[in-house]
Amino acid sequence: MAIVHSFMTGRFMATSHKWEHAHKERIRRREADRDSVHHGAELFHFLGEVEAVFGIWAIALMVAIIGFYDWNTVVNYIGYNVNFSEAAFVVVIMTLAATRPILKLSENLIKMIADRLGGTLAAGWLTTLTIGPMLGSFITEPAAMTISALILGRIFYQLEPSNKFKYATLGLLFVNISVCGTLTNFAAPPVLMVAGPWKWTSAHMLTHFGWKAVLGILLSNGVYFLVFRREMAKLVGDLIDGAVLVGAFFGVALVITSVLLLLIPAWIRKNGMRRMPKRPPKSMGGNTNVCKGICVCS
């Protein structure tokens, strides 16, 4: 039901806006009090918030558990059976990866490689879809996804390509991120589950799976580029003086970038999913606040 609801959020939001607009017209015509609200519009707006969907159905789940069992079962389930460690780990990693210093460093790296390939929009597109996913094997897949998506948003999506090209690029990024987590033994959750019991080292992952993953994304990127080469050429024609490829993030102090570059691997090493207990360690809250503070300051 939660998944169905998530696909219906757009309809809820559209209906909410329709009712809200109609209510504003009634207020303008003085048919309704100027301080009144349309409760249906407010309700549908809430139901249309994607962030609220799973929270709403979590409440429904709790009510169902109470109905079939009792309150103590709910407390035991939430307090001891649900593992929040992975969720907390991913939130912190994505927060760190979305900071200006990490984005600026990643963008400079991608731009440097793209410049070596000609400095065109196509070179930036191909480099982001290749180097970005490879970063996922070192800074985790969620971090690489955040960085790659934000960079693509700046150098590609703001040029307003067709919906077909937009979704093709997004799907290609998802797949590339997933398969490129096999370069090391600590970045991808599926690999983490078996790396310990099966004694798989990062060297083993690279020599047995990693090079195949890299070859696969290179071939995929090449095929997609050939399919959309005409539209890419049109987008290049719309590009003025290569402005989109020029970094727009402000300069970042080297010391801040260095601290963040140390924080990401340190967080992975200390709180990586294979090392985490079922319940998050007490230190996680403090570490999360430290990360949040650095992100705000950066």
pLDDT tens digits along 227-265 = 999 998 888 755 444 444 434 444 555 666 676 667 666
Mean pLDDT of the chain: 78
Q: What is the pLDDT of residues 262-290, one digit of tens each?
A: 766 666 655 554 444 445 444 444 455 55
Residue with tokens 């040029």: 159
In one letter, which amino acid is 96? Answer: L
3-class SS letters over the chain: CHHHHHHHHHHHHHHHHHHHHHHHHHHHCCCCCCCCCCHHHHHHHHHCCHHHHHHHHHHHHHHHHHHHCCHHHHHHHHHHHCCCHHHHHHHHHHHHHCCHHHHHHHHHHHHHHHHHCCCCHHHHHHHHHHHHHHHHHHHCHHHHHHHHHHHHHHHCHHHCCCHHHHHHHHHHHHHHHHHHHHCCCCCCHHHHHHHHHHCCCHHHHHHHHHHHHHHHHHHHHHHHHHHCHHHHHHHHHHCCCCHHHCCCCCCCCHHHHHHHHHHHHHHHHHHCCCCCCCCCCCHHHHHHHHHHHHHHHC
Is there a contact between 216 and 179 (Cβ–Cβ < 8 Å)? yes
pLDDT band at residue 172 under the 50/70/90 scheme:
very high
Question: Best-predicted range by mean pLDDT among 76-85, 113-122, 139-148, 288-297?
Answer: 113-122
Proportion of the chain above pLDDT 90, given as a percent: 24
Q: What is the pLDDT of residues 37-58, one digit of tens each?
A: 898 999 998 899 887 888 888 8
pLDDT band at residue 162 under the 50/70/90 scheme:
very high
User: Using CA atoms, how far apart are residues 228 and 221, in angstroms rounded to an integer?
Assistant: 11
User: Using CA atoms, how far apart are residues 202 and 183, in angstroms rounded to an integer?
Assistant: 7
Q: Where are the domains of the chain?
A: 2-82, 87-297
Is there a contact between 38 and 25 (Cβ–Cβ < 8 Å)? no
Stretch 66-87: mean pLDDT, rounded?
Answer: 82
Nearest-10 Cα torsion for 178, 256, 272, 106 = 10
Ranking 24-28, 93-97, 184-188 by mean pLDDT, the lowest is: 93-97
Q: Reply yes or no on whether the pLDDT at 155 is more than 50.
A: yes
Stretch 90-102: mean pLDDT, rounded?
Answer: 68
Q: Which of 236, 237, 218, 234 is nearest to 180 (CA)?
A: 218
Stretch 145-159: mean pLDDT, rounded?
Answer: 86
pTM of the predicted model as reported, rounded to 2 decimal places? 0.60
pLDDT band at residue 12 under the 50/70/90 scheme:
very high
pLDDT band at residue 293 under the 50/70/90 scheme:
low
Task: Look at residue 32 in the predicted model and tell me its pLDDT.
Answer: 86
Task: Look at residue 94 in the predicted model and tell me its pLDDT.
Answer: 63
Stretch 6-17: mean pLDDT, rounded?
Answer: 91
Distances from the Cα of 222 to the Cαs of 1, 133, 178, 226, 243, in angstroms?
A: 39, 15, 18, 6, 25
